[in-house]
Amino acid sequence: MEAYNYAFLDELTKRELRRKTLKAVAIPGYQVPFGSREMPIARGWGTGGLQVTLSVIGPEDTVKVFDQGSDDSVNACNLRELICQMCDVTPTTDSLEASLIQTRHRIPEEKLREDQILIFQVPLPEVLRTVEPSEQETRRMHAERDYSRMWLHLYEDIVKYGEIRISYDYPVMVNGHYLCDPSPIPRFDVPKLHQADNLFLFGAGREKRIYAIPPYTNVTPLQFEDIPFEVEQFDQPCAKCGSTHTYLEESYDAVTGAKQVACSDTSYCDKRQRQAAGESVEIGVIWDGTNPANFEFE
Amino acid sequence: MAYVAVKGGSHAIHEAEKLLKYIPWKEGGSPLEVQQIRKGMRLAVDRVMSEGSLYDPDLAALALKQAEGDVLEASFLLRAFRSTLVRNFYTLPIQTENMDVIRRISATFKEVPGGQYLGPTRDYTKRLLDMSRMDEDSSEIMKYVTNYLSESLTEAVQEELSGNGESDMPVFPRVIELLRAEGLLAAGEPQDEEAVIDDITRHAISFPASRSARLQTMARGESGALMAFAYSSVRGYGDVHPTIGELRVGYVPVEIEHPFYPGETMTIGRVLVTESEMVVRVHAENHREAAGRAQFAVGYGLCFGHNEDKAISMSILDQTMQQQNADSPAQDEEFVLYHIDGIESSGFISHFKLPHYVDFQAELQRVRSINEKGDRSADGEREQEKEATPHGSL
């Protein structure tokens, strides 16, 4: 890959991205515009996360890329291959080993540490877009902390449907100031953003925005006093590792057509299965700090 | 097989890529030459350079070959390559008065200084499939070329070609200058706004956008998207009545300031461009430019290569977006500028092919929960109705 600069981007571009990232860290939840470059993967396929990753990466890094919880997802494979080709870094699927983790729509089940960075691929960074299509207007609303229309939107949902309809992209208040889109993670992952040990960076390539949630920042999902925020609940354990404390996905068996549920975080699930089979595997604590043993598996 | 849950994602994408390369050649055949594409698919090459935002006909032809003729994909390949190039210089403004014109028309006046030249246009051809071209050979092509050169070229051009004649190429003053001289053109936006020309490839666009940002975004916009928006404004959703003041296609020199000798310029090459100047009536009260009188304004369009529909659409939208208090889509600059980039829109539309298992699971949870609540409250209402009915009544 001699034809390309280290980490694909030229050094001036990296400098711009780092400066914008520092600004984002300094103003938690604020969307910093940047001169997003065209990347060798399609817009909308993770170019924002990729640019952030490539601007902070170095040869000493260990990188994990996962998509919807899976390291083996085709686009994650493609991005990981590109990053490894361009940056000469060690890839991993283990969330504990990675220094940089690029993700699409999930936060790993294992709690991240201070020395780790989680980089989100963000399709639509503007949390207010649901209630206001104009960028000029949403920037004004953020500047004036004019979030009444979002509150009203949530309230109307409760009146009409008995609950807030938002499933992913759940609006969160960051550091008591900016309303922020945590990217399309499920509600299940939203509490992990609050007072975390690690840095969260968000890159939206097509929309040309970078934002951040620094470590130990207050992150609160919008909720009403009498109607608290709820996360997804699962009434069955994971069919593969028996977990009852993870985000699960339903799927249908290709042969029998039978419905089953399994962990979305495949690396975590795999480690638990290996541990259950008697292998010595290091499994991290989950985000509430507890370490669920694997005896749930029968 | 699911394309994520199953192990072997890397293997799957590599095999898919191999299959992709095999498909065009599954029945054998000889390779398509890049130069054949460059010459024979001239307008596709132009469109790729324009939307890919890089003037390089060879690379554009290569991109078309690699993309099996998908213009948007080819533009994307070129755009991704472009973003790795170091920017060494900014060129000086191109002077289109100095264009080597291959085509120039005006719809405002029958005769204009310099004259009208149809040039190589398909506009007045009968759109009949030319079956004789199903099996062309190069001898027929050569015969055509020889005949054309001997019969159709005017004496002046022949003399010019042979190097004997006085160089008597016509000059083409701008048609819109005729209107300006009569005081019928609204003054442009104040010059100081343009003192710093925006660069949308280095800074995300913000709104209200400067005119330079608007024109840059349109110049690399997708032809079809520009045309759809422009069409909407002239068909019914808008109040624009445009007339082509001038449409030119030709080659213009590209100059930079000399890197060593201050005050001197260097020509670094020439590019084929299409330029459109659209004359539009403006209403003083809601237009950024017109100052209290009935006037005309000029909408401007310029793009790489020969692409007239794109330049015309661009010049219409340049005007519609100057309308204040937009009341139709084509007047709303955010609406237009955010949705005309082919690389961005196709990327986002195609991303829906990616797995959304996690998001969809979250959606399922909400839909089931809302329905359960609905069922419960419906049951509750029925219970209440029962209770309200006295049991012993007849």
Q: B199: closest CA among B210, B211, B220, B213?
A: B213
Check if B9 contacts A (Cβ < 8 Å): yes
Per-residue pLDDT tens digits for B288-306: 555 566 788 999 999 999 9
CB count, 10 Å around CB of B389? Answer: 8
B358: chain A residues, CB-CB within 8 Å: 68-69, 105-106, 168, 184-186, 247, 249, 264
What is the distance between the alpha carbons of residues B334 and A126, in angstroms, rounded to a whole number?
15
Clarify whether residues A174 and A217 are in a common domain. Answer: yes
Mean pLDDT of B302-318: 97
User: A298 pLDDT exceeds 60?
Assistant: no
| Structure confidence at residue B6 (pLDDT) | 42
Q: A123: closest CA among A213, A25, A42, A220?
A: A42
What is B44-71 written as a DSSP string?
Answer: HHHHHHHHHT---HHHHHHHHHHTTT-H
Q: Are A73 and A267 in contact (CB under 8 A)?
A: no
User: B190 pLDDT exceeds 90?
Assistant: no
Question: Which has the minimum average pLDDT: A242-256, B162-176, B362-376?
Answer: B162-176
User: A296 pLDDT exceeds 80?
Assistant: no
- Amino acid code (one letter) for A153: H
Higher-pLDDT residue of B286 and A157 is A157
CB count, 10 Å around CB of B136? Answer: 11
**Residue A230 resides in a domain:** no
- Amino acid code (one letter) for B83: S
**Residue A142 resides in a domain:** no
Catalytic residue among A46, A48, A205, A263: A263
| Residue among B2, B5, B86 whose CB faces A10 most closely | B86
Clarify whether residues A174 and A77 are in a common domain. Answer: yes
**Residue A35 resides in a domain:** yes
Clarify whether residues A40 and A85 are in a common domain. Answer: yes
Q: A245: closest CA among A231, A259, A258, A260?
A: A231
| Structure confidence at residue B1 (pLDDT) | 31
Check if B150 contacts A (Cβ < 8 Å): no
- Going by pLDDT thresholds of 50, 70 and 90, the confidence category of residue A292 is confident
| Structure confidence at residue B291 (pLDDT) | 56
**Residue A162 resides in a domain:** no
| Structure confidence at residue B305 (pLDDT) | 97
| Structure confidence at residue B238 (pLDDT) | 85
A108: chain B residues, CB-CB within 8 Å: none
**Residue A141 resides in a domain:** no
Task: Judge: B80–A40 Cβ closer than 8 Å, yes or no.
Answer: yes
Per the structure, the complete domain to which residue A268 belongs is given by 248-296
Task: Judge: A248–B361 Cβ closer than 8 Å, yes or no.
Answer: yes
What is the distance between the alpha carbons of residues B304 and B291, in angstroms, rounded to a whole number?
33
Q: What are the beta bridge partners of residue B281?
A: B296
Clarify whether residues A273 and A205 are in a common domain. Answer: no
Task: Judge: B83–A38 Cβ closer than 8 Å, yes or no.
Answer: yes
Six-digit token string for B226: 């520009």
| Structure confidence at residue A272 (pLDDT) | 95
Give the residue from chain B lying closest to A67, CA to CA.
Answer: B355
- Going by pLDDT thresholds of 50, 70 and 90, the confidence category of residue B342 is very high
Clarify whether residues A15 and A123 are in a common domain. Answer: yes
- Identify the helix (H) or strand (E) that includes residue A65: strand A62-67
Question: Which has the minimum average pLDDT: A95-99, A121-125, B23-27, B193-197?
Answer: B193-197
Per-residue pLDDT tens digits for B208-219: 999 999 999 999
User: B165 pLDDT exceeds 60?
Assistant: no
Which percentage of chain B shows pLDDT scores above 70? 87
Clarify whether residues A78 and A216 are in a common domain. Answer: yes
The Cα angle at residue B329 between residues B327 and B330, in degrees rounded to 5: 105
Catalytic residue among A162, A241, A257, A284: A241
Residue partners of B220: CB distance under 8 A and separation at least 6: B50, B51, B52, B53, B79, B341
Continuous H helices in B67-210: 71-82, 138-151, 155-162, 176-181
Give the residue from chain A lying closest to B343, CA to CA.
Answer: A43
**Residue A112 resides in a domain:** yes
User: A75 pLDDT exceeds 50?
Assistant: yes
Mean pLDDT of A157-171: 95
Higher-pLDDT residue of A296 and B185 is B185
Helix (H, G, I), strand (E, B) or coil at A36: coil
Residue B123 carries which DSSP code?
A: T
What is the distance between the alpha carbons of residues B46 and B251, in angstroms, rounded to a whole number?
13
CB count, 10 Å around CB of B232? Answer: 17
Count of structural domains, chain A = 2
Active site residue A29: yes
What is the distance between the alpha carbons of residues B187 and B111, in angstroms, rounded to a whole number?
25
Residue length of chain B: 394
Q: Are A116 and A192 in contact (CB under 8 A)?
A: no
Clarify whether residues A192 and A290 are in a common domain. Answer: no
Peptide bond into B208 cis (omega under 30): yes
| Structure confidence at residue B7 (pLDDT) | 62
CB count, 10 Å around CB of A194? Answer: 16
| Residue among A35, A78, A232 whose CB faces B203 most closely | A35
Flag whether the pTM goes above 0.90: no
Continuous H helices in chain B: 9-22, 34-40, 42-52, 57-66, 71-82, 138-151, 155-162, 176-181, 211-219, 223-235, 308-320, 333-337, 342-350, 357-388
Residue partners of B33: CB distance under 8 A and separation at least 6: none
End-to-end CA distance of chain A: give it in Å, rounded. Answer: 49
Task: Judge: A209–B204 Cβ closer than 8 Å, yes or no.
Answer: yes
Clarify whether residues A174 and A291 are in a common domain. Answer: no
What is the distance between the alpha carbons of residues B297 and B280, in angstroms, rounded to a whole number?
5
User: B276 pLDDT exceeds 70?
Assistant: yes
β-strands B265-282, A172-174 pairing: unpaired
Clarify whether residues A23 and A72 are in a common domain. Answer: yes
Q: B116: closest CA among B248, B15, B238, B262?
A: B248
Q: Are B50 and B310 in contact (CB under 8 A)?
A: yes
Clarify whether residues A107 and A204 are in a common domain. Answer: yes
Clarify whether residues A255 and A117 are in a common domain. Answer: no
Residue-averaged pLDDT of chain A = 94
- Our CA-based measurement puts residue B66 at a distance from the nearest CA of chain A, in whole angstroms, of 14
**Residue A49 resides in a domain:** yes
Residue A168 carries which DSSP code?
A: B
B111 CB-side CA count, 13 A: 0
Which percentage of chain B shows pLDDT scores above 90? 61
Six-digit token string for B350: 């195609």
B357: chain A residues, CB-CB within 8 Å: 68-69, 249, 251, 264
Residue partners of B272: CB distance under 8 A and separation at least 6: B46, B249, B250, B251, B304, B305, B306
Is the ipTM higher than 0.90? The answer is: no
| Structure confidence at residue B29 (pLDDT) | 84
Mean pLDDT of B373-380: 78
User: B278 pLDDT exceeds 90?
Assistant: yes
Active site residue A49: no
Catalytic residue among A46, A69, A203, A238: A238
Catalytic residue among A29, A48, A69, A205: A29
Active site residue A284: no
| Structure confidence at residue A297 (pLDDT) | 46
Question: Which has the minimum average pLDDT: A130-134, B242-246, B288-292, B383-387?
Answer: B288-292
From residue B99, give the alpha-carbon distance in Å to each of B103, B270, B271, B273: 10, 10, 10, 9
| Structure confidence at residue B287 (pLDDT) | 59
From residue A200, give the alpha-carbon distance in Å to each of A185, B267, B361: 13, 48, 23
What is the distance between the alpha carbons of residues A88 and A264, in angstroms, rounded to a whole number?
28
Strand runs labelled E in B80-214: 100-105
| Residue among A81, A165, A254 whose CB faces B10 most closely | A81
Sheet holding A209-213, edge to edge: A32-33, A209-213, A199-204, A117-121, A100-104, A62-67, A90-91
Last residue of a domain, one of A221, A239, A260: A221
Q: Which residue matches tokens 């939840």? A: A29
| Structure confidence at residue B374 (pLDDT) | 81
B334: chain A residues, CB-CB within 8 Å: 133-136
Mean pLDDT of A184-210: 97
Q: Are B60 and B81 in contact (CB under 8 A)?
A: no
Residue-averaged pLDDT of chain B = 87
Mean pLDDT of A43-62: 96
| Structure confidence at residue B106 (pLDDT) | 95
Mean pLDDT of A91-98: 96
Mean pLDDT of B99-109: 94
Clarify whether residues A67 and A124 are in a common domain. Answer: yes
Task: Judge: A72–B79 Cβ closer than 8 Å, yes or no.
Answer: no
The Cα angle at residue B119 between residues B117 and B122, in degrees rounded to 5: 125
End-to-end CA distance of chain B: give it in Å, rounded. Answer: 63
Number of helices followed by number of strands (H, E) in chain B: 14, 4
**Residue A97 resides in a domain:** yes
Task: Judge: A74–B204 Cβ closer than 8 Å, yes or no.
Answer: no
- Going by pLDDT thresholds of 50, 70 and 90, the confidence category of residue B187 is confident
CATH number for the domain including A44? Answer: 3.40.50.11310
